Amino acid sequence: MTTSYPIEMAALGRPFTLGMLYDTRKGVLVPGFTLWDTKTLQENTVDTTQRCSDFHITSSDSMESKSFLLDIEASLKLSFLGGLIEVGGSAKYLNDQKKFKNQSRVTLQYKTTTNFKQLSMNKFAILDEQQKDDIEKSSATHVVTGILYGANAVFVFDSEKLEASSVQEIQGHMEAVIKKIPAFDIQGRVSIKLTDKEKALTKKFSCKFFGDLILESNPATFEEAVNTYVELPKLLGEKKENAVPLKVWLMPLKNFDSKAAELKAEVSTGLVKNVENTVEDLGTVEMRLNDSLADRVSKNFPQIRKSLTSFQRQRNNYTSGLQQAMAKTVISIHEGKEDESSLKKLLEDREKSPFSHEKLSKWLDHKEREINVIGSCVDMMKGTNTKIVPNQSELDEEVLAPGVEDALCFVFTSLESADGYLKAMQNYSHSLELKSSDEEPWYFSNEVLTKMREKAKAFHDLAKPLKNSSSVRFLATAIANEKHKGATIYHYKEGILVTDDFSKPAVPPFKTITDKSALMWCPSLWDRKTLQENTTETSHHSSNFQVTSSDSIESKSSLLDVEASLKASFLGGLIEVGGSAKYLNDQKKFKNHSRVTFQYKATTNFKQLSMNKFAILDEQQKVDIEKSSATHVVTGMLYGANAVFVFDSDKLDASSVQEIQGHMEAVIKKIPSFDVEGKVDIKMTKEEKALTEKFSCKFYGDLILERNPATFVEAVKTYVELPKLLGEKKENAVPLKVWLMPLKNFDIQRC
């Protein structure tokens, strides 16, 4: 695979600079090592203007389409799919996918290029021994010799969750409207001309923005997206100083030093496509799961939601494990230790496991069938004031309520049937094979369905004329009962269960029918002056926000970019967190309590040490290291700030938690739209205002506030001020991520 020619590769929001080293086997930058000093690089850099701009529109959400928009070739795509590379800026679009399968999505991409910088390599053809030694220590395979600058901006427009039959039609209408966006730019001014029908359509879809340029606030609506699109050329700056690397050219280090590490082999395009199909298939499973979780049946019946979330957890664990295995395998192939047959085997093993396409699809088909059967019975109870209760505790509350003489409860009896497939998924890590069951699921039995519908009709016929009675209650719930497959009707008299198979009006006449070990303080290896003289700083501006209703440690770790090893150290009490990371210690006070979290994240700059200047340590430095017991030294830092707003409702009835959480999430997602040119402009309905007055706010941030927000309105005002709090020169930014170099690299005996 060894070649002397440069590799051309998309930057994907990573902080490349000329002369930086790169390891193509692992897809990572190598901070801390440069072959030439800043002055030499500047004197031998050629800068050429290369200006162009264009836009693309696509209704495809496939990885192939995303890769085309961002100019990603097969090898880099594989590194991304295998989890080897972490993307930034507009390339975060690669991580985004539709939440629901039954949802229309259209994407608009704006791309502009500004200039091309390259090194005059004939000046650098011969390296001295120190430079060669740096190459061999760094493990890098290539050096950056050319960079194309510019910016990408990606606007992703999503519809609401739709009926399956209308997805294509709505998508077509969305695409027609979004194609007009470039036409609304009249000499740098916005002129939106739409029909009433088009205006109504645009109000029904949301916008997400992934870009390489910093906005005061990210667009969340169609109109805001148009205004942002028109402003994009200005955001590059008068001298295009805000442009970022879009594409880089990498020269093999073998051209300079025969002992340099090299990329031994690549994976064939066909196999990359198979990996892509596998990852997308698992993504489709996630969308179908979200469709089912959003269904009213899942919200009303915890047993259904529990099986779906269990399936989702197993799918997520498997996907994470598969990605880790692919990452190791791809690296081994690149290093020449394995051939691509080992990657093929990973994909083949999946098809023999409980996580194969066939088995995952079959389980979802069955679960969707079960949800539809339950939904059809619930629909037959419309117009009866039947209340769905989620558990035995709330059922008891209803049947024992003062004044209630009789209660009829339509009971789904088979929702907790043993699921051998889920068990096989859970035990897959112990090499258990999936055994198929000969027993037909209850929701495929015509006999069971007929009886369920008969009971649902009988329940409706009795409940409708008595819907206003204060002495009788009509309820629906799920309770396991093997005697009555599918469903039955329970009759309670004065709070006591009379029968679990009510079939005729045995209810008596009614009187009336009305009503720290991960971090330690230790001396620095170098003095302040030496560090300042050998630190390279690069702008790395980006900002984005996320909203989540999950309060799990997994969700919190995802928001704060905490990887597994660091998470384990935190959970084990080894590290003490500060700033925005204190959010990790916060949890809901009550179970029956709605919570929605809003996170704002901004990055500002990247600093790295030129480690080749520090390759040799004196004896005193070695003694300092050995005294400290440290294992690594910090060689790179990404600066910025996180801000986390946690909104909590009052303590609620269990039945209303999901509903209130949904309303809270809808309002909180509007926060960025209240930021109008750096000023607060809160526009809400009366219902939304009333809702926001009922929940509190807690703030965890890396920026100093005069006073932490305690209400929704105060939170909005704080959000609008956040970019200013970073300071004009971003002097208030804090470390968000660090790169650590093993002290072993300095030939010191470390454990």
Q: What is the pLDDT of residues 243-259, one digit of tens each?
A: 999 999 999 999 888 88
Q: Confirm if 147 and 248 have CB atoms less than 8 A apart.
A: yes
The answer to whether residue 455 scores a pLDDT higher than 80 is yes
Distances (CA, A) of 80 to 1, 12, 95: 21, 10, 10
Q: Return the pLDDT at 677.
A: 66
Buried b (16+ CB within 10 A) or exposed e, 134-152: bbebbbbbbbbbbbbbbbb
Q: Return the pLDDT at 504.
A: 56
Ranges for all domains in the chain classified under CATH 3.40.30: 380-515
186 CB neighbour count, 10 Å cutoff: 9
Q: Confirm if 102 and 291 have CB atoms less than 8 A apart.
A: yes
The answer to whether residue 382 scores a pLDDT higher than 50 is yes
Length in residues, the chain: 751
The answer to whether residue 523 scores a pLDDT higher than 80 is no
What's the DSSP call for residue 109? E
Q: Return the pLDDT at 421.
A: 81
Of 195, 218, 380, 391, which Cα lies nearest the Cα of 303? 391
Q: Which two tokens stand for residue 236?
A: 């590059």
- CA pair distance 729, 441, nearest whole angstrom: 64
Q: How far is CA 570 from the centre of its chain?
A: 21
The answer to whether residue 509 scores a pLDDT higher than 50 is no
Q: Does residue 639 or residue 519 have the better pLDDT?
A: 639
- CA pair distance 392, 481, nearest whole angstrom: 13
- CA pair distance 153, 151, nearest whole angstrom: 7
Sorted by sequence, the CB contacts under 8 Å of residue 307 that are 6+ apart come out as 367, 419, 422
Q: Return the pLDDT at 571.
A: 82
- CA pair distance 339, 714, nearest whole angstrom: 58
**CA R_g for the chain:** 30
**pLDDT band (50, 70, 90) for residue 364:** very high
- CA pair distance 212, 691, nearest whole angstrom: 35
345 CB neighbour count, 10 Å cutoff: 12
Q: How far is CA 455 from the centre of its chain?
A: 44
Burial of 252 (0-12, 13-18, 19+ CB in 10 A): buried
The answer to whether residue 37 scores a pLDDT higher than 70 is yes
Distances (CA, A) of 181 to 207, 208, 336: 13, 15, 49
Q: Confirm if 211 and 89 have CB atoms less than 8 A apart.
A: yes
Q: 162-186 pLDDT, tens per residue?
A: 888 899 999 999 999 999 988 886 5
Q: 405-449 pLDDT, tens per residue?
A: 999 999 999 998 777 788 888 877 544 344 445 567 888 889 999
Task: Report the SS3 class of residue 398.
Answer: helix
- CA pair distance 108, 236, nearest whole angstrom: 19
- CA pair distance 63, 98, nearest whole angstrom: 12
Q: Return the pLDDT at 612.
A: 63
Q: Which two tokens stand for residue 706?
A: 């005069």
Strand order in the sheet with 406-412: 387-388, 472-478, 406-412, 487-493, 496-499
Share of the chain above pLDDT 70, in %: 93
- CA pair distance 261, 273, nearest whole angstrom: 27
Q: Confirm if 245 and 12 have CB atoms less than 8 A apart.
A: no
Q: Average the pLDDT over 683-696 and give the result.
A: 90
Q: Does residue 701 or residue 627 have the better pLDDT?
A: 701
- CA pair distance 341, 332, nearest whole angstrom: 12
Q: Return the pLDDT at 519.
A: 40
Task: Report the SS3 class of residue 522.
Answer: coil
Q: 20-36 pLDDT, tens per residue?
A: 999 999 999 998 778 88
Can you list the pairs that 42-46 forms with residues at least 24 positions away whose Cβ atoms lie under 8 Å?
Answer: 44/119, 44/120, 44/123, 44/124, 45/18, 45/117, 45/118, 45/119, 45/120, 46/117, 46/118, 46/119, 46/120
Amino acid letter for position 559: L
Please give, one letter per residue, the 3-state secondary structure of 72-97: CCHHHHHHHHCCCCCCCHHHHHHHCC
How many Å is the maximal CA-CA distance in the chain? Answer: 103
Per the DSSP assignment, residues forming a β-bridge with 150 are 113, 244
What's the DSSP call for residue 380? T
Q: Return the pLDDT at 615.
A: 60
**Taking the model in full, what pTM does it have?**
0.78
Task: Report the SS3 class of residue 330.
Answer: helix
Q: Confirm if 646 and 597 have CB atoms less than 8 A apart.
A: yes
Q: Average the pLDDT over 233-243 and give the result.
A: 93
Q: What is the dihedral of CA 564, 566, 567, 571, to 10 degrees?
A: 140
Distances (CA, A) of 536 to 32, 37, 522, 608: 9, 10, 23, 5
**pLDDT band (50, 70, 90) for residue 676:** low
Q: Return the pLDDT at 492.
A: 96
Q: From the options 3.40.50, 1.10.3470, 3.40.30, 1.25.40, give the CATH code of 380-515.
A: 3.40.30
Q: Return the pLDDT at 500.
A: 94
449-458, 653-662, 741-750: range with highest mean pLDDT = 449-458
Q: Average the pLDDT over 134-149 and give the result.
A: 92
Q: 543-581 pLDDT, tens per residue?
A: 888 999 988 888 899 899 898 888 888 887 888 889 999
Q: Average the pLDDT over 59-78 and give the result.
A: 95
**Helix/strand/coil percent split, the chain, to 5:** 40, 25, 35
The answer to whether residue 239 scores a pLDDT higher than 70 is yes
**pLDDT band (50, 70, 90) for residue 216:** confident
Q: 340-357 pLDDT, tens per residue?
A: 999 999 999 999 999 999
The answer to whether residue 521 scores a pLDDT higher than 50 is no
Q: Confirm if 731 and 704 have CB atoms less than 8 A apart.
A: no
